[in-house]
Amino acid sequence: MIRRFLLATIALASGADFTVGTATAPSGRKATGFIQVAAGSDAATNVPVIVVNGSKPGPVLALVSGSHGTEYASILAVEKLAQVADPASISGTVILVPLVNVASFQEKVPHLNPVDRKNMNRFYPGKPDGTQTDRVSYAITKQVVEKCDYLLDYHGGDLDENLRKYAYWPDTGNAKLGAAARSVVLAFGLDHIIIQNMKSPVPPGGPITLTRHALSLGKVALAVEAGHAGTTNAEDIDALVNGTLSVMRELKMLPGEAHRVEHPLWLGRIATVSSDQDGIFYPRVVPEAYVTQGQIIGHITNYFGEKIRDVASPVTGVVAYIGAVPSMKKGDTVANIAEIAQDPQP
Ligand SMILES: [Zn+2]
């Protein structure tokens, strides 16, 4: 009897099927599958995808995480959203791609895709005949970015990064996109928002992130970050899950009111401190700390334990990120210090 009732319910659903990769969800249903990326100059890969096709019409929201496969809190957040998303209560469609960089996750390699040693959030829109990162980026462009109206890209502190939760507001110079992204980022609810300058074009061959490419296609796209150094704290995962559900309320994809952040701290220019030597790093400040220009934020010793360098903050601002592990090689980022900015659209 129960089975017959379910079949009757499906037959009543009137909306169209929604397909991403091998996942096809009829209206009012959830489907899982893979975005299949064939072998080329290197190995094939299957990127998992979940499609939640709401029973009522509405926008298409894409949730993408795991381009850095060891930023675990962000991956677990999208996995949890895939479980809690109920097509019966959703207006519109949610495409969830929880793990773009499967090889990074499996091999526990931070920052890069170990198959071709490329950063999987730098090569959009990708190409069908490049290495695996290029081919995956191309498939995500075609299957996810081009099919969505809104896109959230989830990150966090990687295995070697100690980071505070924050979101980005992309400043593209396009007033309409800016206003739409502002309502999304405020609804997400994180109280630190970095203003990301996307007005100047990327030079030929320069890095193009997922959100930058999506914005160039007129999609409302932004990145959020929580978690650090391999941890999977409930507080970080919940911040990403609840922020996403609040955005869905803001977009009228779920009933209820969004929980907008009232007075976020807006952060502007980011000063990156890099190490000019190999050595061992000892941080002296934590993420979110306010530091002044010239303040010592850590030091580096040689492999004999002798201090070879104090690391000073080049600006007054907030520690957005600081090295989480002692390994420090020449050229590595020691810290990012974000300068406090004014609300860009008060
Ligand atoms: Zn990342």
Distance from residue 255's CA to the centre of ligand 1 (Å): 31
CA–CA gap between residue 95 and residue 168 (Å, rounded): 21
151 CA to centre of ligand 1 in angstroms: 15
| Ligand 1 geometric centre to CA of 158 (Å) | 7
What pLDDT is stored for residue 222 in this prediction?
A: 98
Position 12 scores a pLDDT of 40
The reply to whether omega before 283 is within 30° of 0 (cis) is: no
Name the amino acid, one letter, at 118.
K
Q: pLDDT 10s digit of each residue in the chain, 346 long?
A: 444 444 434 434 458 999 999 999 999 999 999 999 999 999 999 999 999 999 999 999 999 999 999 999 999 999 999 999 999 999 999 999 999 999 999 999 999 999 999 999 999 999 999 999 999 999 999 999 999 999 999 999 999 889 889 999 999 999 999 999 999 999 999 999 999 999 988 988 899 999 999 999 999 999 999 999 999 999 999 999 999 999 999 999 999 999 999 999 999 999 999 999 999 999 999 998 999 999 999 999 999 999 999 999 999 999 999 999 999 999 999 999 999 999 988 7
Tokens standing for residue 231 = 């941890």
Are the beta carbons of 92 and 60 closer than 8 angstroms?
yes
pTM above 0.75, yes or no: yes
Q: Where are the alpha helices (DSSP H) in 97-220?
A: 102-107, 132-143, 175-188, 210-216
Q: What pLDDT does 7 receive?
A: 43
Three-point CA angle 262, 94, 195, nearest 5°: 35
Ligand 1 centroid, distance to 50 Cα (angstroms): 21
Report the distance separating Cα 133 and Cα 24, nearest Å. 25
Question: How far, in Å, is the centroid of ligand 1 from the Cα of 248?
Answer: 23
Residues lying with their CB under 5 A of ligand 1, a single-atom ion: 68, 71, 155
Determine how many CB atoms are found less than 10 A away from the CB of residue 149: 17
Strand positions, DSSP E, the chain? 18-20, 23-25, 29-37, 45-53, 56-65, 91-97, 150-155, 161-163, 166-171, 192-197, 220-225, 265-274, 279-283, 290-291, 296-301, 307-312, 317-323, 327-328, 333-340
Distance 153 CA to ligand 1 centre (A): 9
Distance 156 CA to ligand 1 centre (A): 6
Residue 334 three-state SS: strand
Q: Ligand 1 mean position to 28 CA, how many Å?
A: 32
pLDDT at 5: 44
Q: How far away, in angstroms, is 111 Cα from ligand 1 center? A: 7
Q: What does the CA dihedral 155, 160, 166, 170 come to, rounded to 10 degrees?
A: -60
User: What separation in Å is there between the alpha carbon of 87 and the centre of ligand 1?
Assistant: 29
